[in-house]
Amino acid sequence: MLGNFTYCNPTKLYFGEDSLSNLKTELKKYGTNVVLVYGGGSIKKNGIYDQVMAILNEEGKNVAEIAGVMPNPTVEKLYEGVEIARKHNVDILLAVGGGSVCDYAKAVSVSVNCDEDPWEKYYIKFEEPTCETIPVGCVLTMVGTGSEMNAGSVITNHKEKLKVGHVFADEKIMPRFSILNPRYTMTLPHYQMVSGIYDIFNHICEQYFSGEDDNTSDYISEGLMKSVINSSRIANKNPQDYEARSNIMWTATWALNTLVAKAKSTDWMVHMLGQSAGACTDATHGMTLAAVSLPYYKHIMPYGLPKFVRFAENVWNVNPDGKTDEQIALEGLSLMEDWMKELGLVMNLTDLGATEEMIPDLVKGTFIMTGGYKKLDKEEIEQIFRESLKK
């Protein structure tokens, strides 16, 4: 382990089939005015909304709602939510949904008491809050983003063709508590389930493919990746397998709660490429990551060859006998591709609605990161996007 770091994660997790019962305990810690944040209405169809509202009413909470939070929350929706929360004099934001709903609640949290434009302040200038933030609690219904235990928030601006994530530095912006019941994830369509699974896997990759020291985080990452692969195959055949779905849910949280990032420079270029694609197409986040991953990893593999060899051997069980390092690394990526296709992931941007005419906007909307094995230039980004468009 190289360098110095601080680790603190204040989010309290309640996990399991009876985890929602703990919402009563948590609500007692906050004031009367609750803003309930949720998405397109699936929680009303599956009964989760009624369960949550029953607890809110039992605890005597005064509830306002922000409904209709979309999978890629927009800046316009953020402005709408801020106004609702202000008028309600909100004491706590309760996000019930997937990662986008949790992300959105955090964006509202840092904006309610801020006089500045939150898009400009947090997603263009990447400033930290200078105002009082509102506590956030989460009841998770879809896994993938890890937003239930981190300070990240992603907002989309379609007008500017930008999808931007801000990982806030202040630990107070992390959810104060998150409730994780794997049963709540079992009504998701297959497309959303596998999209979330790949999001989990890629979160680990983004942190793994950086640095060359003997780092404990890499050993943890390899275990998490193997768990995702194993459980995903079970869930892909039987989405109602509780053990597999619970393992996936737990791995998603640990993939991005900052633990495996410790002493790592971290990469995040797949996310930058995927988020730019999402801004232009509004496609599902995990699918945009799947579409750009292999072209990107094949491009940077020569610059981080020892780690790609380790990935092939330790995660995909590639036998190195009689093979060059390049052959071992490519075999690992080939096995990764086979697994992705087995799950039913979208493997190119064309099938997500991207076209060659979008390439200038795709390139323009891609933030260049410096923590991976190769800092890309604009020409390389364009090349990767062109590869990602191919079927």
> Does 41 score more than 90 pLDDT?
no
Q: Answer yes or no: are the C-beta atoms of 275 and 163 closer than 8 Å.
A: yes
Residue pLDDT, tens place only, 126-170: 999 999 999 999 999 999 999 999 999 999 999 999 999 999 999
> Does 384 score more than 80 pLDDT?
yes
Tell me the C-alpha to C-alpha distance, in Å, between residue 91 and each of 77, 95, 116, 197.
20, 13, 21, 33
Q: To which residue do tokens 């992390």 refer? A: 174
Task: Kindly tell me the burial class for residue 67, based on how many C-beta atoms sit within 10 Å of its own C-beta (0-12, 13-18, 19 or more).
Answer: middle
pTM of the predicted model, to two decimals?
A: 0.95
What is the token pair recorded at 217?
A: 């985080």
| Order of all β-strands in the sheet with 62-66 | 12-15, 177-180, 136-140, 92-97, 33-38, 62-66
Helix (H, G, I), strand (E, B) or coil at 267: coil
- Right CATH number for 12-185 from 3.40.50.1970, 3.20.20.105, 3.20.190.10, 3.30.980.10? 3.40.50.1970
- The per-residue pLDDT for 3 is 81
pLDDT exceeding 90 applies to what percent of the chain? 96
- The per-residue pLDDT for 2 is 82
- Region 177-189: mean pLDDT is 96
Task: Please give the Cα distance from 304 to 323 (Å, whole number).
Answer: 17
Residue pLDDT, tens place only, 337-359: 999 999 999 999 999 999 999 99
Tell me the C-alpha to C-alpha distance, in Å, between residue 142 and each of 173, 238, 360.
20, 17, 33
Q: Answer yes or no: are the C-beta atoms of 358 and 155 closer than 8 Å.
A: no
**Can you give the residue ranges of every domain in the chain?**
12-185, 190-389
Q: DSSP character for 92?
A: E
For the domain 190-389, what is the CATH code?
1.20.1090.10
